[in-house]
Amino acid sequence: MPEATSKPGSPPAATLNAALAGSPGAGGAPLQALRERARVAYESLELPYWRRSGFWQTSFADLDMAALTPVTQAPDATAPAIVAGQENAGVLLQRDASVVHVSLNPELAARGVIFCSLEEAAAEHREVFERYYLRRLPLDRHKLEAASAAFWSGGAFLYVPPGLEIAEPFQIVYEITAPGSAQYAHTLAIADRTSAIRVREYDLAASGFEGDALHAGQFELYLEDGARCRLAHLTDWGPGNIADVSTAVVEVGRDAYCHWLPALLGGRLIRHHDELVVAGPGGDMAFRGILFSQAQEHLDVFAVDVHETGPSGGDVHWRGAATGESRASFEGLIKIDPGAQQSHTYLQFHSMMLSDAAKLDAIPSVLVSADDVSASHGGTVGELDEHLIFYMQTRCMSRPDAVRVIVEGFFEPLIVQLDDPPLEQQIRERIGAKLAAAADDIERYALAR
Protein backbone atom coordinates (compact mmCIF):
# COMPACT_ATOMS: atom_id res chain seq x y z
CA MET A 1 0.00 0.00 0.00
CA PRO A 2 1.16 3.58 -0.62
CA GLU A 3 2.77 5.37 2.25
CA ALA A 4 0.51 7.71 4.24
CA THR A 5 2.12 10.31 6.45
CA SER A 6 0.90 13.19 8.56
CA LYS A 7 2.22 16.32 10.19
CA PRO A 8 3.72 16.29 13.69
CA GLY A 9 0.98 15.91 16.26
CA SER A 10 -1.32 13.96 13.91
CA PRO A 11 -2.21 10.32 14.56
CA PRO A 12 0.11 7.62 13.19
CA ALA A 13 0.24 7.62 9.40
CA ALA A 14 -1.00 4.05 9.06
CA THR A 15 -4.37 4.97 10.56
CA LEU A 16 -5.07 7.40 7.75
CA ASN A 17 -4.78 4.98 4.84
CA ALA A 18 -5.79 1.61 6.24
CA ALA A 19 -8.99 -0.41 6.47
CA LEU A 20 -11.21 0.53 9.40
CA ALA A 21 -12.32 -3.08 9.98
CA GLY A 22 -10.92 -4.51 13.16
CA SER A 23 -10.58 -1.15 14.89
CA PRO A 24 -12.49 -0.93 18.17
CA GLY A 25 -16.03 0.31 17.66
CA ALA A 26 -17.86 2.71 19.93
CA GLY A 27 -21.33 1.18 19.65
CA GLY A 28 -23.25 1.07 22.91
CA ALA A 29 -21.64 4.08 24.58
CA PRO A 30 -23.80 7.09 25.52
CA LEU A 31 -23.87 9.82 22.90
CA GLN A 32 -22.64 12.58 25.19
CA ALA A 33 -19.63 10.51 26.23
CA LEU A 34 -18.73 9.91 22.59
CA ARG A 35 -19.18 13.58 21.72
CA GLU A 36 -16.87 14.58 24.57
CA ARG A 37 -14.27 12.02 23.53
CA ALA A 38 -14.41 13.37 19.97
CA ARG A 39 -14.20 16.99 21.18
CA VAL A 40 -11.05 16.25 23.15
CA ALA A 41 -9.54 14.56 20.09
CA TYR A 42 -10.53 17.53 17.93
CA GLU A 43 -8.63 19.93 20.19
CA SER A 44 -5.44 17.87 20.06
CA LEU A 45 -5.30 16.68 16.45
CA GLU A 46 -4.03 18.38 13.31
CA LEU A 47 -5.86 18.74 10.03
CA PRO A 48 -5.37 15.61 7.90
CA TYR A 49 -2.63 15.25 5.32
CA TRP A 50 -2.22 12.19 3.12
CA ARG A 51 1.01 11.71 1.19
CA ARG A 52 1.32 9.20 -1.61
CA SER A 53 4.86 7.95 -2.05
CA GLY A 54 5.90 8.69 -5.61
CA PHE A 55 2.61 10.38 -6.43
CA TRP A 56 1.16 13.53 -4.82
CA GLN A 57 -0.56 14.62 -1.65
CA THR A 58 -4.05 15.36 -0.39
CA SER A 59 -3.81 18.02 2.28
CA PHE A 60 -6.39 19.95 4.28
CA ALA A 61 -3.70 21.80 6.21
CA ASP A 62 -4.70 25.17 4.72
CA LEU A 63 -8.35 24.88 5.79
CA ASP A 64 -9.32 27.88 7.95
CA MET A 65 -11.44 26.20 10.62
CA ALA A 66 -12.01 29.50 12.44
CA ALA A 67 -13.80 30.87 9.37
CA LEU A 68 -16.12 27.85 9.02
CA THR A 69 -19.05 27.48 11.41
CA PRO A 70 -22.36 25.55 11.47
CA VAL A 71 -25.16 27.64 9.95
CA THR A 72 -28.74 26.95 11.04
CA GLN A 73 -31.64 27.15 8.60
CA ALA A 74 -35.42 27.43 8.99
CA PRO A 75 -37.77 24.47 8.31
CA ASP A 76 -38.96 24.10 4.73
CA ALA A 77 -42.00 22.01 3.85
CA THR A 78 -40.96 21.82 0.19
CA ALA A 79 -39.34 18.60 -0.97
CA PRO A 80 -35.81 18.99 -2.38
CA ALA A 81 -35.83 19.77 -6.10
CA ILE A 82 -33.58 16.82 -6.96
CA VAL A 83 -36.19 14.33 -5.69
CA ALA A 84 -39.40 16.31 -6.28
CA GLY A 85 -42.08 14.44 -8.20
CA GLN A 86 -40.54 11.03 -7.60
CA GLU A 87 -42.06 8.06 -5.81
CA ASN A 88 -40.32 7.93 -2.43
CA ALA A 89 -40.50 5.90 0.74
CA GLY A 90 -39.21 8.93 2.60
CA VAL A 91 -37.29 12.16 2.06
CA LEU A 92 -34.96 14.04 4.41
CA LEU A 93 -33.24 17.34 3.58
CA GLN A 94 -30.48 18.90 5.65
CA ARG A 95 -29.43 22.42 4.68
CA ASP A 96 -26.12 23.38 6.21
CA ALA A 97 -26.46 22.43 9.91
CA SER A 98 -30.26 21.95 10.07
CA VAL A 99 -32.70 19.26 9.00
CA VAL A 100 -35.38 21.37 7.35
CA HIS A 101 -37.63 18.71 5.81
CA VAL A 102 -38.61 15.12 6.69
CA SER A 103 -41.39 13.03 5.17
CA LEU A 104 -42.20 9.33 5.52
CA ASN A 105 -44.89 7.26 3.81
CA PRO A 106 -47.59 6.89 6.53
CA GLU A 107 -48.12 3.22 5.67
CA LEU A 108 -44.45 2.52 6.33
CA ALA A 109 -44.57 4.42 9.62
CA ALA A 110 -47.53 2.27 10.67
CA ARG A 111 -45.46 -0.85 9.92
CA GLY A 112 -42.63 0.23 12.21
CA VAL A 113 -40.26 2.08 9.87
CA ILE A 114 -38.40 4.92 11.58
CA PHE A 115 -37.10 7.73 9.39
CA CYS A 116 -36.12 10.93 11.16
CA SER A 117 -33.21 13.19 12.05
CA LEU A 118 -30.35 11.54 13.89
CA GLU A 119 -30.87 13.99 16.74
CA GLU A 120 -34.45 12.78 17.14
CA ALA A 121 -33.35 9.14 17.00
CA ALA A 122 -30.78 9.69 19.75
CA ALA A 123 -33.49 11.12 21.99
CA GLU A 124 -36.54 9.01 21.13
CA HIS A 125 -35.09 5.71 19.89
CA ARG A 126 -32.12 5.50 22.19
CA GLU A 127 -31.86 1.71 22.43
CA VAL A 128 -31.47 1.05 18.70
CA PHE A 129 -29.45 4.23 18.23
CA GLU A 130 -26.83 3.29 20.82
CA ARG A 131 -26.70 -0.31 19.57
CA TYR A 132 -25.47 0.80 16.14
CA TYR A 133 -24.13 4.36 16.33
CA LEU A 134 -20.36 4.41 15.56
CA ARG A 135 -20.21 0.62 15.78
CA ARG A 136 -17.71 0.59 12.92
CA LEU A 137 -16.74 4.22 12.49
CA PRO A 138 -13.78 5.70 14.38
CA LEU A 139 -13.87 9.24 15.71
CA ASP A 140 -10.29 10.21 16.43
CA ARG A 141 -8.03 9.50 13.45
CA HIS A 142 -7.76 13.17 12.45
CA LYS A 143 -9.22 16.58 13.25
CA LEU A 144 -12.05 16.64 10.71
CA GLU A 145 -13.26 13.17 11.63
CA ALA A 146 -13.28 14.19 15.28
CA ALA A 147 -15.10 17.43 14.41
CA SER A 148 -17.83 15.49 12.63
CA ALA A 149 -18.34 13.15 15.60
CA ALA A 150 -18.23 15.98 18.13
CA PHE A 151 -20.30 18.66 16.43
CA TRP A 152 -22.75 16.97 14.06
CA SER A 153 -26.29 18.29 14.05
CA GLY A 154 -29.42 17.19 12.26
CA GLY A 155 -28.31 14.00 10.53
CA ALA A 156 -30.42 11.15 9.16
CA PHE A 157 -31.65 7.94 10.81
CA LEU A 158 -33.39 5.00 9.15
CA TYR A 159 -34.58 1.75 10.71
CA VAL A 160 -36.51 -0.87 8.71
CA PRO A 161 -38.08 -3.76 10.68
CA PRO A 162 -37.50 -7.45 9.87
CA GLY A 163 -39.07 -8.88 6.74
CA LEU A 164 -40.23 -5.58 5.26
CA GLU A 165 -39.49 -5.12 1.54
CA ILE A 166 -39.75 -1.54 0.25
CA ALA A 167 -39.46 -0.81 -3.48
CA GLU A 168 -39.36 3.00 -3.32
CA PRO A 169 -36.11 4.70 -2.24
CA PHE A 170 -35.36 6.58 0.95
CA GLN A 171 -33.77 9.82 -0.20
CA ILE A 172 -31.36 11.83 1.95
CA VAL A 173 -30.05 15.19 0.77
CA TYR A 174 -27.23 17.19 2.38
CA GLU A 175 -27.11 20.64 0.83
CA ILE A 176 -24.69 23.49 1.45
CA THR A 177 -26.23 26.90 0.84
CA ALA A 178 -24.28 29.43 2.94
CA PRO A 179 -20.67 30.56 2.37
CA GLY A 180 -18.61 29.85 5.46
CA SER A 181 -20.79 26.85 6.36
CA ALA A 182 -19.33 23.89 8.23
CA GLN A 183 -21.68 20.97 7.63
CA TYR A 184 -21.06 18.05 9.97
CA ALA A 185 -23.31 15.32 8.58
CA HIS A 186 -24.05 11.84 9.88
CA THR A 187 -26.33 9.13 8.46
CA LEU A 188 -27.13 5.92 10.34
CA ALA A 189 -29.25 3.29 8.57
CA ILE A 190 -30.26 -0.22 9.68
CA ALA A 191 -32.03 -2.87 7.61
CA ASP A 192 -33.16 -5.60 10.00
CA ARG A 193 -33.32 -9.31 9.14
CA THR A 194 -34.57 -10.25 5.63
CA SER A 195 -35.71 -6.71 4.84
CA ALA A 196 -35.04 -5.07 1.46
CA ILE A 197 -34.52 -1.34 0.89
CA ARG A 198 -33.16 1.31 -1.47
CA VAL A 199 -31.23 4.30 -0.12
CA ARG A 200 -29.94 7.33 -2.02
CA GLU A 201 -27.80 10.04 -0.46
CA TYR A 202 -26.95 13.31 -2.23
CA ASP A 203 -24.17 15.77 -1.25
CA LEU A 204 -24.83 18.97 -3.17
CA ALA A 205 -24.18 22.70 -3.25
CA ALA A 206 -27.04 25.10 -3.83
CA SER A 207 -27.36 26.48 -7.35
CA GLY A 208 -24.95 29.37 -7.85
CA PHE A 209 -23.08 28.72 -4.59
CA GLU A 210 -19.85 30.67 -4.22
CA GLY A 211 -17.36 30.89 -1.39
CA ASP A 212 -15.71 28.52 1.06
CA ALA A 213 -17.45 25.69 2.91
CA LEU A 214 -16.75 22.36 4.57
CA HIS A 215 -18.61 19.05 4.50
CA ALA A 216 -17.31 16.51 7.02
CA GLY A 217 -19.58 13.51 6.65
CA GLN A 218 -20.01 10.09 8.21
CA PHE A 219 -22.25 7.33 6.89
CA GLU A 220 -22.96 3.89 8.35
CA LEU A 221 -25.31 1.19 7.07
CA TYR A 222 -25.88 -2.15 8.81
CA LEU A 223 -27.55 -5.01 6.95
CA GLU A 224 -28.64 -7.75 9.33
CA ASP A 225 -28.95 -11.43 8.32
CA GLY A 226 -30.62 -11.87 4.94
CA ALA A 227 -31.20 -8.15 4.39
CA ARG A 228 -30.70 -6.53 0.98
CA CYS A 229 -29.96 -2.94 -0.01
CA ARG A 230 -29.30 -0.98 -3.18
CA LEU A 231 -27.33 2.06 -2.03
CA ALA A 232 -26.18 5.06 -4.06
CA HIS A 233 -24.26 8.23 -3.20
CA LEU A 234 -24.11 11.23 -5.52
CA THR A 235 -21.57 13.93 -4.67
CA ASP A 236 -21.43 17.08 -6.77
CA TRP A 237 -20.30 20.25 -4.99
CA GLY A 238 -20.13 22.31 -8.17
CA PRO A 239 -17.51 25.01 -8.83
CA GLY A 240 -17.52 26.50 -5.32
CA ASN A 241 -14.58 26.10 -2.96
CA ILE A 242 -16.01 23.25 -0.90
CA ALA A 243 -13.78 20.82 0.98
CA ASP A 244 -15.22 17.36 1.66
CA VAL A 245 -13.76 14.75 4.01
CA SER A 246 -16.17 11.83 4.42
CA THR A 247 -16.09 8.27 5.69
CA ALA A 248 -18.71 5.64 4.85
CA VAL A 249 -18.97 2.05 6.06
CA VAL A 250 -21.44 -0.67 5.05
CA GLU A 251 -21.64 -3.92 7.04
CA VAL A 252 -23.15 -6.95 5.29
CA GLY A 253 -24.43 -9.70 7.61
CA ARG A 254 -25.05 -13.42 7.10
CA ASP A 255 -26.58 -14.12 3.68
CA ALA A 256 -27.12 -10.39 3.18
CA TYR A 257 -26.37 -8.40 0.02
CA CYS A 258 -25.49 -4.81 -0.87
CA HIS A 259 -25.13 -3.09 -4.24
CA TRP A 260 -23.38 0.23 -3.58
CA LEU A 261 -22.48 2.90 -6.13
CA PRO A 262 -20.84 6.17 -5.06
CA ALA A 263 -20.64 8.77 -7.86
CA LEU A 264 -18.13 11.60 -7.26
CA LEU A 265 -18.89 14.16 -9.92
CA GLY A 266 -17.54 17.44 -8.60
CA GLY A 267 -15.71 19.13 -5.76
CA ARG A 268 -12.72 21.41 -5.26
CA LEU A 269 -11.08 19.14 -2.67
CA ILE A 270 -12.52 15.73 -1.80
CA ARG A 271 -11.19 12.84 0.27
CA HIS A 272 -13.56 9.86 0.66
CA HIS A 273 -12.97 6.63 2.55
CA ASP A 274 -15.64 4.12 1.43
CA GLU A 275 -15.54 0.69 3.05
CA LEU A 276 -17.76 -2.33 2.47
CA VAL A 277 -17.40 -5.15 5.00
CA VAL A 278 -18.76 -8.67 4.53
CA ALA A 279 -19.16 -9.69 8.16
CA GLY A 280 -21.35 -12.81 7.96
CA PRO A 281 -21.09 -16.17 6.13
CA GLY A 282 -22.86 -16.11 2.79
CA GLY A 283 -22.64 -12.32 2.57
CA ASP A 284 -22.19 -10.85 -0.90
CA MET A 285 -21.76 -7.42 -2.43
CA ALA A 286 -21.27 -5.43 -5.62
CA PHE A 287 -19.20 -2.29 -4.99
CA ARG A 288 -19.42 0.05 -7.98
CA GLY A 289 -18.14 3.60 -8.32
CA ILE A 290 -17.76 6.56 -10.68
CA LEU A 291 -15.44 9.55 -10.41
CA PHE A 292 -15.01 12.45 -12.83
CA SER A 293 -12.70 15.40 -12.14
CA GLN A 294 -12.35 18.60 -14.15
CA ALA A 295 -10.70 22.04 -14.06
CA GLN A 296 -8.76 22.36 -10.75
CA GLU A 297 -10.67 19.68 -8.84
CA HIS A 298 -8.89 17.23 -6.55
CA LEU A 299 -10.63 13.90 -5.86
CA ASP A 300 -9.08 11.25 -3.62
CA VAL A 301 -10.94 7.95 -3.05
CA PHE A 302 -9.91 5.07 -0.83
CA ALA A 303 -12.29 2.13 -1.48
CA VAL A 304 -11.98 -0.95 0.72
CA ASP A 305 -13.47 -4.43 0.28
CA VAL A 306 -13.16 -6.35 3.57
CA HIS A 307 -14.05 -10.01 4.17
CA GLU A 308 -14.13 -10.96 7.83
CA THR A 309 -15.57 -14.44 7.35
CA GLY A 310 -16.40 -16.89 4.61
CA PRO A 311 -17.78 -18.11 2.40
CA SER A 312 -18.37 -14.66 0.96
CA GLY A 313 -18.44 -12.88 -2.36
CA GLY A 314 -17.37 -9.51 -3.66
CA ASP A 315 -16.97 -7.57 -6.88
CA VAL A 316 -15.42 -4.07 -6.95
CA HIS A 317 -15.63 -2.15 -10.23
CA TRP A 318 -14.90 1.60 -10.49
CA ARG A 319 -14.41 3.89 -13.48
CA GLY A 320 -12.92 7.38 -13.63
CA ALA A 321 -12.19 10.21 -16.04
CA ALA A 322 -10.15 13.41 -15.68
CA THR A 323 -10.06 16.68 -17.63
CA GLY A 324 -8.46 20.11 -17.25
CA GLU A 325 -5.70 20.29 -14.65
CA SER A 326 -7.56 18.11 -12.18
CA ARG A 327 -6.10 15.43 -9.94
CA ALA A 328 -7.90 12.18 -9.18
CA SER A 329 -6.78 9.13 -7.30
CA PHE A 330 -8.47 5.79 -6.76
CA GLU A 331 -6.89 3.47 -4.22
CA GLY A 332 -8.60 0.12 -3.93
CA LEU A 333 -7.86 -2.42 -1.22
CA ILE A 334 -9.06 -6.02 -0.89
CA LYS A 335 -8.58 -7.26 2.67
CA ILE A 336 -9.35 -10.89 3.53
CA ASP A 337 -9.00 -11.69 7.22
CA PRO A 338 -7.78 -14.94 8.78
CA GLY A 339 -10.60 -17.46 8.79
CA ALA A 340 -12.43 -15.87 5.85
CA GLN A 341 -11.97 -19.04 3.82
CA GLN A 342 -13.78 -19.48 0.49
CA SER A 343 -14.01 -15.75 -0.07
CA HIS A 344 -13.99 -14.71 -3.71
CA THR A 345 -13.57 -11.13 -4.88
CA TYR A 346 -12.16 -9.09 -7.74
CA LEU A 347 -11.20 -5.40 -7.95
CA GLN A 348 -10.97 -3.46 -11.21
CA PHE A 349 -10.51 0.19 -12.09
CA HIS A 350 -10.76 1.64 -15.60
CA SER A 351 -9.75 5.21 -16.39
CA MET A 352 -10.11 7.60 -19.33
CA MET A 353 -7.74 10.54 -19.78
CA LEU A 354 -9.27 13.63 -21.41
CA SER A 355 -6.46 16.16 -20.86
CA ASP A 356 -2.67 16.12 -20.97
CA ALA A 357 -2.57 18.31 -17.83
CA ALA A 358 -4.79 16.05 -15.73
CA LYS A 359 -3.53 13.20 -13.57
CA LEU A 360 -5.46 10.09 -12.59
CA ASP A 361 -3.78 7.42 -10.47
CA ALA A 362 -5.00 3.89 -9.79
CA ILE A 363 -3.45 2.12 -6.81
CA PRO A 364 -4.77 -1.43 -6.24
CA SER A 365 -3.76 -3.55 -3.25
CA VAL A 366 -4.58 -7.04 -2.00
CA LEU A 367 -3.99 -8.14 1.60
CA VAL A 368 -4.91 -11.80 2.09
CA SER A 369 -4.59 -13.73 5.36
CA ALA A 370 -6.42 -16.92 4.34
CA ASP A 371 -5.35 -19.66 1.93
CA ASP A 372 -8.61 -20.94 0.38
CA VAL A 373 -9.65 -17.78 -1.43
CA SER A 374 -9.54 -16.04 -4.80
CA ALA A 375 -8.65 -12.36 -4.88
CA SER A 376 -7.14 -10.34 -7.70
CA HIS A 377 -7.23 -6.95 -9.38
CA GLY A 378 -6.90 -5.42 -12.82
CA GLY A 379 -7.48 -2.24 -14.75
CA THR A 380 -7.03 -0.25 -17.93
CA VAL A 381 -6.09 3.29 -18.99
CA GLY A 382 -7.59 4.70 -22.17
CA GLU A 383 -8.08 7.82 -24.26
CA LEU A 384 -10.60 8.95 -26.85
CA ASP A 385 -10.45 6.84 -29.97
CA GLU A 386 -10.07 9.20 -32.95
CA HIS A 387 -11.04 6.46 -35.39
CA LEU A 388 -14.30 5.96 -33.53
CA ILE A 389 -14.94 9.71 -33.43
CA PHE A 390 -14.32 9.92 -37.17
CA TYR A 391 -16.69 7.02 -37.79
CA MET A 392 -19.43 8.72 -35.77
CA GLN A 393 -18.87 11.99 -37.64
CA THR A 394 -19.37 10.16 -40.93
CA ARG A 395 -22.77 9.19 -39.55
CA CYS A 396 -23.75 12.90 -39.27
CA MET A 397 -22.81 13.31 -35.60
CA SER A 398 -20.92 16.43 -34.52
CA ARG A 399 -17.55 15.99 -32.86
CA PRO A 400 -18.74 17.24 -29.41
CA ASP A 401 -21.70 14.87 -29.57
CA ALA A 402 -19.41 11.99 -30.55
CA VAL A 403 -17.11 12.71 -27.59
CA ARG A 404 -20.10 12.93 -25.26
CA VAL A 405 -21.49 9.60 -26.46
CA ILE A 406 -18.12 7.86 -26.06
CA VAL A 407 -17.50 9.14 -22.53
CA GLU A 408 -21.07 8.50 -21.43
CA GLY A 409 -20.76 5.02 -22.91
CA PHE A 410 -17.60 4.49 -20.88
CA PHE A 411 -19.59 4.99 -17.65
CA GLU A 412 -22.82 3.38 -18.84
CA PRO A 413 -22.03 -0.24 -17.79
CA LEU A 414 -22.04 0.92 -14.16
CA ILE A 415 -24.88 3.43 -14.40
CA VAL A 416 -27.38 0.89 -15.75
CA GLN A 417 -26.66 -1.41 -12.81
CA LEU A 418 -28.36 1.09 -10.52
CA ASP A 419 -31.72 -0.21 -11.79
CA ASP A 420 -33.09 3.22 -10.87
CA PRO A 421 -34.13 5.30 -13.93
CA PRO A 422 -34.48 8.71 -12.19
CA LEU A 423 -31.05 8.43 -10.55
CA GLU A 424 -29.48 7.05 -13.72
CA GLN A 425 -30.73 10.08 -15.64
CA GLN A 426 -29.43 12.51 -13.00
CA ILE A 427 -25.95 10.98 -13.22
CA ARG A 428 -25.99 11.03 -17.03
CA GLU A 429 -27.02 14.70 -17.04
CA ARG A 430 -24.26 15.69 -14.62
CA ILE A 431 -21.64 13.81 -16.64
CA GLY A 432 -22.93 15.55 -19.76
CA ALA A 433 -22.65 18.95 -18.05
CA LYS A 434 -19.04 18.25 -17.05
CA LEU A 435 -18.19 17.23 -20.60
CA ALA A 436 -19.76 20.42 -21.98
CA ALA A 437 -17.79 22.56 -19.52
CA ALA A 438 -14.54 20.79 -20.46
CA ALA A 439 -15.14 20.70 -24.22
CA ASP A 440 -12.28 23.09 -25.07
CA ASP A 441 -9.79 21.16 -22.91
CA ILE A 442 -10.81 17.87 -24.46
CA GLU A 443 -10.47 19.24 -27.99
CA ARG A 444 -7.02 20.72 -27.30
CA TYR A 445 -5.88 17.38 -25.95
CA ALA A 446 -7.18 15.56 -29.02
CA LEU A 447 -5.47 17.98 -31.43
CA ALA A 448 -2.16 17.81 -29.50
CA ARG A 449 -2.06 14.05 -29.99
Integer Cα distance of 126 and 185 in angstroms:
19
Q: Which residues contact 341 (CB under 8 A, 6 or more apart)?
A: 310, 311, 370, 371, 372, 373
Q: Residue 77, CB half-sphere, CA atoms under 13 Å: how many?
A: 0
pLDDT band at 64 (very low <50, low <70, confident <90, very high): very high
Residue 438 lies in a domain: no
DSSP 8-state secondary structure symbol assigned to residue 79: P
Q: Over the chain, what is the mean pLDDT?
A: 91
Quick: pLDDT tens for 146-203.
999 999 999 999 999 999 999 999 999 999 999 999 999 999 999 999 999 999 999 9
Instruction: Provide the β-strand partners of residue 242.
Output: 213
Query: Is the per-residue pLDDT at 5 higher than 60?
Result: no
DSSP 8-state secondary structure symbol assigned to residue 268: S
Burial 44-73 (b: 16+ CB within 10 A, else e): ebebbbbbbeeeeebbbeebeeeebebbeb
Residue 442 lies in a domain: no
pLDDT band at 400 (very low <50, low <70, confident <90, very high): confident
Q: Provide the pLDDT for residue 54.
A: 56
Q: Provide the pLDDT for residue 201.
A: 98
Integer Cα distance of 361 and 52 in angstroms:
10
Query: Is the per-residue pLDDT at 271 higher than 60?
Result: yes
pLDDT band at 421 (very low <50, low <70, confident <90, very high): very high
Residue 426 lies in a domain: no
Question: 442: phi > 0 → left, psi -120 to 50 → alpha, else beta; which?
Answer: alpha
Query: Is the per-residue pLDDT at 380 higher than 60?
Result: yes
Quick: pLDDT tens for 240-266.
999 999 999 999 999 999 999 999 998
**Residues 256/228, Cβ–Cβ less than 8 Å:** yes
Task: Give mean pLDDT, residues 283-293.
Answer: 97
> Which secondary-structure segment (H or E) carries 207?
none
Residue 258 lies in a domain: yes
Vertex 176 angle, CA 170 and 177, to 5°: 125
Short-list 289, 286, 280, CA closest to 255: 280
pLDDT band at 334 (very low <50, low <70, confident <90, very high): very high
pLDDT band at 11 (very low <50, low <70, confident <90, very high): very low
Q: Which amino acid would we find at residue 125?
A: H
pLDDT band at 8 (very low <50, low <70, confident <90, very high): very low
Q: Provide the pLDDT for residue 445.
A: 79
Residue 44 lies in a domain: yes
Residue 312 lies in a domain: yes
Query: Is the per-residue pLDDT at 103 higher than 60?
Result: yes
Tally of domains in the chain: 1
Residue 379 lies in a domain: yes
Q: Provide the pLDDT for residue 55.
A: 62
Q: Which residue has the higher pLDDT, 378 or 25?
A: 378
Q: Outline where 100-184 has alpha helix (H).
A: 106-110, 118-124, 126-132, 143-151
233 lies in which domain range?
Answer: 13-385
Integer Cα distance of 132 and 3 in angstroms:
32
Residue 417 lies in a domain: no
Integer Cα distance of 201 and 170 in angstroms:
8
Question: 154: phi > 0 → left, psi -120 to 50 → alpha, else beta; which?
Answer: left
Q: Provide the pLDDT for residue 13.
A: 42
Integer Cα distance of 393 and 441 in angstroms:
20
